[in-house]
Amino acid sequence: MSHRVIVVGGGLAGLAASVRIAEAGVPVDLFSLVPVKRSHSVCAQGGINACNEVARQQGYSEYEHFDETIYGGDYLADQHPVLEMANWAPRIIDLLDRMGVPFNRTSEGYRDLRLFGGSLFKRTHFAGATTGQQLIYALDEQARRYEAEGKITKYEYWEFLGPVFADDAGGGRRCVGVVGQDLRTMQVRAFRGDAVVMATGGNGLVFGKSTNSIICTGAAAARCFKAGVAYGNPEMIQVHPTAIPGADKLRLMSESARGEGGRVWVPRTKNDARRASEIPEAERFYFLEEKYPAYGNIVPRDIATREIFDICVNQGLGVGGGNSVYLDLTHKDPEYLTRKLGGILDIYEKFVGVDPRREPMQIFPAVHYSMGGLHTTFVKGRYNPGEPLSKHVSGSAPPLGSEVGLGMSYGDPGNMVTNVAGLYAFGEVNFAYHGANRLGANALLSCIFDGLFCGLSVVNYMKNGAPSKTPHGQVGASVYESARSAEQSKYEALLGAASRGEADEKTNPYVIHRELGAEMTAACTVVKSEGRLRECLSRIGDFKERMARVRVPDAAGWSNQSLCFARAVGDMLSVAEAVCLGSIERKESRGAHYRTDFPERDDANFMKTTVARWDATGQRVTVEFAPVDGSLVRPTARTYGKKEAGAGQPKPAMSGV
Amino acid sequence: MLNFTPAAGAGSGAGGGSGAGGGNRARAVPGRTIRVRVKRCEGPGKASRWEVFAVKAEAGSNVISVLQQIASNPVTVEGERTTPVVWDSGCLEEVCGACTMVINGRVRQSCSCLIDEYAPGEGDEITLEPMSKFPVVRDLWVDRSRLFHNLSRVKAWVPIDGTYNLGPGPRETPAQQETRYALSECMSCGCCLEACPQFTLEEDPKAWGTSFIGAHAISQARLFNEHATGRALKGERLEALMGPGGVSDCGNAQNCVKVCPKHIPLTESIAAIGRAVTIHAVARWFRG
């Protein structure tokens, strides 16, 4: 009986995993909500970090990349996996290069590099302003090649409804397949597999509108969570300070607009109805310049985010009473702006329909990335210094090389597997690598690294683990049938409710989602406090109660998008609750998590991973804390924002373009 | 100059031009109500029908947000309750290609279609139709599998030896990178196919291998032929483009390049591949 692997999600992580596993000779069934080439990875613009020969000769090293990532993540990430990822990064760039990614080039034909937040060295590789798109295309092409050879079978426009678990000989549970639904025919079907890789990305839609694609609901992760998979650091949500508010989504506006002299302001008078150009200088509130005379508009990202949020949400001073502030470049020469910022100004003009050279842009922070995700384990590699070293001095010689297996044990089945054997989590849906805050241009890296490095772990699990004794073909049919029929019943119940009359505001899934997003954004993102979080937790309880009575506005048994959306909203509530409860229990401030009532980092009590679990009996989330692997480098205060006060150019503390 | 007349059938999108310039944005009336006319179809083999919705234009709204508004309260102008419109979408930033449809007779992405441009006045109407060259799944959602199948026909990939650590790829000049990057921005949206008179609806996958392959796949063949390693499959790509449905089926209408949202030089690619196919054919003839 031959083995098969199921990969759920066809973004960078899912494609990298599929290619790696198929290459090892194991057939892959690849499930995706959309044709894989349209996955959210296409949205990443900035680049992908890796040590490179130029930076190396200037004093940079894989070890410094590791150190930056740990420091940027405010010491919440387990350290061994991050070391292995940084060590692998140059190999990943070489591989992508061989696949034909059109990386920008120097005049001599080498790969060009750019400076990015969180580093003093140029270590970010890029392909125009669409690096994520170019990387996923390269992997999509390799996956298509394997598809043509019959090694990868794609199930596009299929939705993952839940994992299938079977009792293991050892008394535990292991994952032996998935239940999916064809989004066209609405057929619900169980699929057999010896291992399942979740590579389903982030959960921006829990916050209503975000910089994420419309498919990033987090529902797939939520379905695993509700099936008993632990969730790590749910409260760690990265918010980008400057996004373009849109009626449908929030699009990124690069930080360079402020770097080039952009001034952030709101009218001093609430709900001032005048156009920006009609408001005289004296009636404008340049709140960043007034509060931070040294930094002005170029305060670090997390501070900018908090201040803009405070002005709009707490003080109600946003433009037109809404959630936006002006980012004003109109005092600059239009030709200069075009030369320096042409690309990003064009994006603004394309989607807003306003020329930012003539009218101030309107921007607002936006939920951007989830550092948290399904909780996974790892097996330490060979490097164990005994005592953690002190923080790496930038540019100094690294304490070790970059050979394979120093950070994580290569090929060990215990890498990036959840608490259920055979169920792996790769990419953004995996909680590992980024700690409390992700550095810009590290996301693409972690996705591909998971797929390539841990793909071998999946293969070895099948060769040597439970599937080697009991392959999926020997698992009883009843296991699959009961999982399938449970999902079929849920589907039919939603469909049945659709034909029982109209939804009102209380039972309309679109209205519930809008209210959930507004509540989560207000309580669980930029500024958090116990009281507000408790209120949010109670609102989530209300949403749960309303979802139980939800009325889908479409009773069709064919391509019923409203039904799928309503089902996703129901599942998202469990993740929302984990985000909220994790935020309540973490009584400190660290990275992206800022508590007004606990403004300092507290390593003694909270240099720990938040582990959330779903209590199926009580239908609620519970949270506990687990130790972090801090055995390689000792924590120091994360102060680079403040240190550079005199230099005038603070290093961004939150990077994520 | 706005063209509100939906142009049905082959070649929709070519030549008509939205013509929607920045001027309309300034004229957009705040708080206006617009009409959204949607071509609906409950599934394959079912008849199409039109439904019209009145929607209050929010600041900054686009076709996506309008469809979202309709979804949360799907009532037509006649006051009849209907179902939310079904459509395909993803990134909403014009990089994934999912939300392509025919708007006011011209094919384009709906996310970058601003209501202030397309329906600036009170009561202005905007018309949404599914692409006509692909089978409709439901409403505005079409099945573009054939588009991806055609990428396999031309082996649109670099034949690497595997994911092992084998050092960097071939060096290339900035000029070569710029050429390849421009071609590599193709997001497989299908605008070029919708606008092409030679690319017609073909529901039977068995006929895909001999039906016109389309500008996007020809351009991708060029992309990989330009790469030092990808070139290894150049002969196979050109063979695929020589037969029925290959590059010689192009009728030179040049609509593809006019509607490409990424401004990919598709006609240049077709010309380059056309020349390469000729040279390949002659060389093959000499080899016997």
Q: What pLDDT, on the 0 to 100 scale, is given for residue B26?
A: 65
Q: Is the dihedral of CA A455, A458, A464, A469 positive or negative?
A: negative
C-alpha–C-alpha distance, residues B54 and B74, integer Å: 10
Structure tokens at B198: 């030679």
Mention every residue, 6+ apart, whose C-beta is less than 8 A from residue A541. none
Entry field: residues in chain B: 288
C-alpha–C-alpha distance, residues A623 and A80, integer Å: 24
Q: Mark yes or no for CB contact B169/A94 under 8 Å.
A: yes
The residue type found at A409 is S
Q: Is residue B131 within 8 Å of B107, Cβ to Cβ?
A: yes
> Does residue A28 sit in helix, strand or coil?
strand
| Residue B262 contacts A where some CB pair is shorter than 8 Å | no
Residue listed under structure tokens 């692998």: A88
Q: Mark yes or no for CB contact A98/B166 under 8 Å.
A: yes
Instruction: Give, in words, the CATH class of B144-287.
Output: mainly alpha
Chain B residues with CB inside 8 Å of A554's CB?
Answer: 83-84
| Residue A502 contacts B where some CB pair is shorter than 8 Å | yes
Note the Cα A112 to chain centre separation in Å. 26
The β-bridge partners of A177 are A164, A192
Nearest-Cα residue of chain B relative to residue A108: B173
Q: Domain map of chain B by residue range?
A: 22-141, 144-287
C-alpha–C-alpha distance, residues A231 and A252, integer Å: 27
Q: What pLDDT, on the 0 to 100 scale, is given for residue A346?
A: 82
Structure tokens at B147: 């588009």
C-alpha–C-alpha distance, residues A74 and A436, integer Å: 6
Nearest-Cα residue of chain B relative to residue A19: B163
Q: Mark yes or no for CB contact A109/B148 under 8 Å.
A: no
Which of B43, B157, B188 minimises the CB distance to A145? B157
What are the residue numbers of the active site of A?
A: 301
Nearest-Cα residue of chain A relative to residue B228: A100
Per-10-residue mean pLDDT of chain A, 657 residues long, equals 91 98 98 98 90 96 97 96 98 98 95 82 88 96 98 98 91 95 98 98 97 97 98 96 92 81 94 94 95 80 85 91 93 86 82 92 95 98 97 96 98 98 98 94 96 98 95 96 98 90 88 97 94 98 96 96 98 98 98 95 98 96 98 87 40 36
Q: Mark yes or no for CB contact B74/A553 under 8 Å.
A: yes
Mention every residue, 6+ apart, whose C-beta is less than 8 A from residue A496. none
C-alpha–C-alpha distance, residues A216 and A249, integer Å: 12
Cα A476 to Cα A221, A346, A472: the distances in Å are 26, 57, 9
Task: Please state the ipTM of this predicted complex.
Answer: 0.93
- The candidate with the shortest Cα–Cα distance to A95, out of B158, B122, B57, B261, is B158
Residue A605, burial from CB neighbour count under 10 angstroms (0-12, 13-18, 19+): exposed
Range B22-141 classified under CATH 3.90.920.10: no
Nearest-Cα residue of chain B relative to residue A215: B90
| Residue A105 contacts B where some CB pair is shorter than 8 Å | yes
C-alpha–C-alpha distance, residues A579 and A182, integer Å: 30
Domains of chain A plus CATH, in order, are: 5-236+371-476 (3.50.50.60), 240-366 (3.90.700.10), 478-607 (1.20.58.100)
| Residue A23 contacts B where some CB pair is shorter than 8 Å | yes
Query: B85-95: per-residue pLDDT in tens?
Result: 999 999 999 99
Cα A600 to Cα A225, A303, A586, A636: the distances in Å are 30, 14, 11, 13
Q: Mark yes or no for CB contact B116/A353 under 8 Å.
A: yes
Which of A38, A251, A347 minimises the CB distance to B96? A38
C-alpha–C-alpha distance, residues A161 and B277, integer Å: 47
**∠ CA B88-B93-B99, rounded to 5°:** 20
Q: What is the DSSP letter of A312?
A: I
The 3-state secondary structure of A194-260, one letter per residue: CEEEECCCCCHHHHCCCCCCCCCCCHHHHHHHHCCCCEECCCCEEEEEEEEECCCCEEECCCHHHHC
The 3-state secondary structure of chain B, one letter per residue: CCCCCCCCCCCCCCCCCCCCCHHHHHHCCCCCEEEEEEEEECCCCCCEEEEEEEEECCCCCEHHHHHHHHHHCCECCCCCECCCCCCCCCCCCCCCCCCEEEECCEEEECCCCEHHHHCCCCCCEEEEECCCCCCEEECCEECCHHHHHHHHHCCCCCCCCCCCCCCCCCCCCHHHHHHHHHHHCCCCCCHHHHCCCCCCCCCCHHHHHHCCCCHHHHHHHHHHHCCCCHHHHHHHHHHHHHCCCCHHHCCCCCHHHHHCCCCCCHHHHHHHHHHHHHHHHHHHHHHC
Chain B residues with CB inside 8 Å of A23's CB?
Answer: 162-163
Q: Mark yes or no for CB contact A247/B167 under 8 Å.
A: no
| Residue A473 contacts B where some CB pair is shorter than 8 Å | no
B41 — pLDDT class (breaks 50, 70, 90): very high
Which of A20, A127, A184 minimises the CB distance to B181? A127
Q: Mark yes or no for CB contact B91/A38 under 8 Å.
A: yes
C-alpha–C-alpha distance, residues A296 and A294, integer Å: 6
Q: Mark yes or no for CB contact A562/B83 under 8 Å.
A: yes
Mention every residue, 6+ apart, whose C-beta is less than 8 A from residue A435. A69, A70, A72, A73, A74, A75, A76, A77, A233, A236, A371, A591
Which of B90, B157, B165 minimises the CB distance to A215? B90
Q: Is residue A242 within 8 Å of A327, Cβ to Cβ?
A: yes
| Residue A104 contacts B where some CB pair is shorter than 8 Å | yes
Q: Is residue B184 within 8 Å of B220, Cβ to Cβ?
A: no
| Residue A240 contacts B where some CB pair is shorter than 8 Å | no
> Does residue A608 sit in helix, strand or coil?
strand
Best B53, B56, B96, B113 residue to mutate vs chain A (most A CBs within 10 Å)? B96
Buried b (16+ CB within 10 A) or exposed e, B82-105: bbbbbbbbbbbbbbbbbbbbbbbb
Q: What is the DSSP letter of A528?
A: B
Residue B8: pLDDT above 70? no
Residue, of A128 and B25, whose pLDDT is higher: A128
- The enclosing H or E element of A66 equals helix A62-72
B235 — pLDDT class (breaks 50, 70, 90): very high
C-alpha–C-alpha distance, residues A557 and A172, integer Å: 37
C-alpha–C-alpha distance, residues A181 and A159, integer Å: 5
C-alpha–C-alpha distance, residues A142 and A453, integer Å: 17
Give me the residues of B, 50-109, that contact A with CB < 8 A: 58-62, 64-65, 68, 71-72, 74, 81, 83-84, 86, 88-98
Mention every residue, 6+ apart, whose C-beta is less than 8 A from residue B189. B97, B98, B100, B109, B261
The 3-state secondary structure of A408-425, one letter per residue: ECCCCCCCCECCCECEEE
C-alpha–C-alpha distance, residues A556 and A543, integer Å: 25
Q: Is residue B273 within 8 Å of B218, Cβ to Cβ?
A: yes
| Residue A541 contacts B where some CB pair is shorter than 8 Å | no
Q: Mark yes or no for CB contact B95/A98 under 8 Å.
A: no
Give the torsion through C-alpha atoms of A40, A42, A46, A48, to 10 deg.
90
The β-bridge partners of B142 are B136
Q: Is residue A427 within 8 Å of A450, Cβ to Cβ?
A: yes
Cα A579 to Cα A406, A437, A540, A593, B151: the distances in Å are 33, 15, 11, 11, 41
Q: Is residue A480 within 8 Å of A164, Cβ to Cβ?
A: yes
Structure tokens at A467: 């599937």
> Does residue A367 sit in helix, strand or coil?
strand
The residue type found at B46 is K
Residue A181, burial from CB neighbour count under 10 angstroms (0-12, 13-18, 19+): buried
Q: What pLDDT, on the 0 to 100 scale, is given for residue B156?
A: 98
C-alpha–C-alpha distance, residues A359 and A337, integer Å: 13
Cα A279 to Cα A189, A354, A596: the distances in Å are 60, 18, 33
Structure tokens at A435: 């700690």
Q: What is the DSSP letter of A612?
A: E
Q: Mark yes or no for CB contact B181/A102 under 8 Å.
A: yes
Distinct helix (H) and strand (E) counts, chain A:
18, 21
Note the Cα A514 to chain centre separation in Å. 21
The β-bridge partners of A105 are A111
Q: Mark yes or no for CB contact B180/A102 under 8 Å.
A: yes
Q: What pLDDT, on the 0 to 100 scale, is given for residue A645?
A: 39
Q: How far is B96 from chain A (nearest CA, A)?
A: 5
Structure tokens at B28: 């957009």
Buried b (16+ CB within 10 A) or exposed e, A41-73: bbbbbbbbbbbbebbbeeebbbbbbbbbbbbbb
Chain B residues with CB inside 8 Å of A133's CB?
Answer: 95, 185, 187
